[in-house]
Amino acid sequence: MAHQNDLETTPLAPQPNAFWLGETDLWLLAEGRHLRPWEKLGAHPCSLNGVDGTAFAVWAPNARQVGVVGDFNHWDAAHHPMHLHRSAGVWELFVPHLGPGALYKFAVQGVHGGAPVFKTDPYALRTESGAGHACVVMRLPPCVTGAQAPRPQKQALHAPMSVYEVHVGSWRRPNGQLPDWTYLAQHLIAYVADLGFTHIELMPINEHPFYGSWGYQPTGLYAPTARYGTPEAFRDFVACAHQAGLQVILDWVPAHFPSDAHALAHYDGTALYEHADPREGFHRDWNTLIYNYGRAEVRNFLVGNALFWIERYGIDGLRVDAVASMLYRDYSRAEGEWIPNRDGGRENYEAIALLREVNQVVGVQAPGAITVAEESTAFAGVTAPPWNGGLGFHYKWNLGWMHDTLAYLALDPVHRAHHHDRISFAMVYAYSEHYVLALSHDEVVHGKGSLYGKMAGDHWQKLANLRILYALMFAHPGRKLLFMGCEFGQKQEWNHDAELQWGVLQDPAHAGLQKLVRDLNHLYRGHAALYARDDEPGGFAWIDVHDRSQSVFSFIRHGHGAHQQVAVVCNMTPVVRHGYRIGVPQGGAWQEILNTDSTHYSGSGVGNCGRVQAEPVPAHGFSHSVVLNLPPLGVLWLAPEHAA
């Protein structure tokens, strides 16, 4: 097939009686039951009636007329009017001799007439770089199959999961410029793999017009943003991650979309993808529109998109943004500013049905792929299966743990004795969902400062408190997530317009924190007690949760078998505790497998020489106990010798 530059300057004539859409396609699209709508809607190079060209199809049921415009017809809508299939509200046209690389848009004359508006293709697979917002004809990426084989084992509920969250445009900026996927495949993946993470999570990489939205206001749900290179380069990036042993999670945003005139808003002159009533269809918090989840074609667009990234790019999981805003009709709205559901309540039944359908489709069509909910309320059953009344997510972010733990570590240690429950409370609900402990980008933006800045004390104490935070997170039940830059204690709040503050690694204390994160990841993955029973009450037990006066916590993680045990002791004050006795489940030698106060991490070096012997002295309900030196603002991990 030819690119536009290889064609004659005369606009290409449409092919008469060449239809891309069959009756079954039209019926499924109208019903919102086309499992893979991207295979038919959008722009597809193909051969019809023995002629090579590109088939275009777009849903715009209320438009008076729709045409295809592009660099192949001088952006003149009169040359390529489309044919309407009224049964599905879909317009289509086959343009012969037009191939990949051509720029295009749809010229949509709305329901009320007037001049046509140039709109992007909702199903565009590629977009041009720059401000033109044109779509680019490309072939569907082939299905990814080879990298999926280890996915079910690597992402099982009993497997270790440690996630590095990344905004790719501000991780590194080579020569002060945005990185591309080739650079990121070479540098980012090697870095994340070296630190021992199991997953990399990308903040949204769908096409979005406003860079400052970080991708959370997408206009091209089916197109990787052109800012970082071609779709093929992104696909290669994902393949490179798989080769390095990493799984890839993509942030996915079905909660809202921007009102830019060139995109989905008022697509055919009516509220097509959104609600007409702003009480249902507008987010004042973000000045964005809300999808009409009850409309079959909109639901099909979103459900299909979830499956698309997994099947066509090899994505291993989706983290669904702003789920709470979807679940409740009164989200961030005052009385009288929202419309109740059919039963007079606040739950958004249509959004709930959409989320269940997404999770069911992903579960059936992509075994081993996961979905993760960023859900900030106490909505019941987020990770329960749909057939049992749940939403069907695999995991939910534990934002309660995050808020309580950060609030505790922001306190001067002298006051921590009075807030002991902020650390212990998370265990009250730890098994109500399958949780991810997330220290995400949300905690280091909008004036919140950095994690380093949130910690109490001087420079040494701030880093010691960060070492406590990370060692506690990796020992606590739940999967782990850490935002980029937090692994070395970036001092500044995250800035999407600049690269991370890599210069702080010249300070041995910050470099020591990075070493700790690497060791935590490898210890976590090497000791099944720390992950194998995250969702079972039998996987965790307090040793002593009552030592408020000294602000010391101790607990034990259990795996399967007597040797899958890790004892964790946290001293939340800068006072060294000598001769501190805790009970342990068995006698023999216990190795000090982690000491956050080690000089290796720029700590003070207080510890237990790497090994202690359990004595037959009962304590805390156990038949044996060990006597420890607790380092200041430090965490110890102990394991029976030969434990794994």
Q: Is this model's pTM higher than 0.85 or not? A: yes
The encoded tokens of residue 614 equal: 């359990």
For every residue of 410-448, DSSP letters joined together read TS-GGGGGGGTHHHHGGGGSTTSS-EEEEE-GGGGSTT-
The last residue of a domain, from among 87, 109, 136: 136
- If you average pLDDT over residues 318-341, what whole number do you get? 96
| 275 DSSP 8-state letter | -
> Helices in 394-535 by DSSP H: which ranges?
399-409, 421-424, 451-454, 459-475, 508-526
In a domain? residue 141: no
- pLDDT tops 50 at residue 171: yes
- Read off the pLDDT of residues 413-423 as tens digits, 9 standing for 90 and up: 999 999 999 99
Q: Are residues 490 and 590 in the same domain?
A: no
Q: Are residues 124 and 190 in the same domain?
A: no
In a domain? residue 75: yes
In a domain? residue 219: yes
Q: Are residues 466 and 601 in the same domain?
A: no
Given 274, 316, 321, 443, the catalytic residue: 321
- For residue 2, what pLDDT is reported? 43
Residue 150's pLDDT band (cuts 50, 70, 90): confident
Give residue 170's domain range: 155-252+295-530
In a domain? residue 337: yes
Q: Are residues 344 and 422 in the same domain?
A: yes
In a domain? residue 274: no
- For residue 561, what pLDDT is reported? 86
Q: Give catalytic status of residue 374 as yes or no.
A: yes
In a domain? residue 289: no
* CATH number of the domain where residue 561 is located: 2.60.40.1180
| Chain Cα centroid distance, residue 411 | 30
- Read off the pLDDT of residues 326-336 as tens digits, 9 standing for 90 and up: 999 999 999 99
* CATH number of the domain where residue 105 is located: 2.60.40.10
* CATH number of the domain where residue 301 is located: 3.20.20.80
Identify the three-state secondary structure at position 191: helix
* Count of the separate structural domains present in the chain: 3
H/E element holding 301?
helix 296-313
In a domain? residue 313: yes
Q: Are residues 308 and 243 in the same domain?
A: yes
In a domain? residue 270: no
266: left (phi over 0), alpha (psi -120 to 50) or beta: left
C-alpha distances out from residue 299 to 26, 32, 188, 220, 609, Å? 16, 7, 35, 16, 60
Q: Give catalytic status of residue 321 as yes or no.
A: yes
Q: Are residues 175 and 100 in the same domain?
A: no
Q: Are residues 235 and 357 in the same domain?
A: yes
- If you average pLDDT over residues 84-101, what whole number do you get? 97
- If you average pLDDT over residues 166-184, what whole number do you get? 97
- If you average pLDDT over residues 164-185, what whole number do you get? 98
- For residue 8, what pLDDT is reported? 42
The last residue of a domain, from among 136, 170, 188: 136
Q: Are residues 525 and 590 in the same domain?
A: no
Q: Are residues 245 and 347 in the same domain?
A: yes
- Read off the pLDDT of residues 257-282 as tens digits, 9 standing for 90 and up: 999 999 999 999 999 999 999 999 99
Main-chain dihedrals φ then ψ at residue 581, nearest 5 degrees = -100, 135
- For residue 563, what pLDDT is reported? 83
- Read off the pLDDT of residues 17-48 as tens digits, 9 standing for 90 and up: 578 999 999 999 999 999 999 999 999 999 99
The last residue of a domain, from among 87, 104, 136: 136
- For residue 7, what pLDDT is reported? 42
Given 165, 374, 443, 597, the catalytic residue: 374
Q: Are residues 159 and 128 in the same domain?
A: no
What is the chain's mean pLDDT, rounded? 95
Torsion, Cα 57 268 133 304, to 10 degrees, reads: -50
- For residue 9, what pLDDT is reported? 45
Q: Are residues 507 and 613 in the same domain?
A: no
CA angle 57, 60, 62 (to 5 degrees): 150
- For residue 132, what pLDDT is reported? 86
- Read off the pLDDT of residues 453-479 as tens digits, 9 standing for 90 and up: 999 999 999 999 999 999 999 999 999
- For residue 565, what pLDDT is reported? 97
Q: Are residues 243 and 123 in the same domain?
A: no
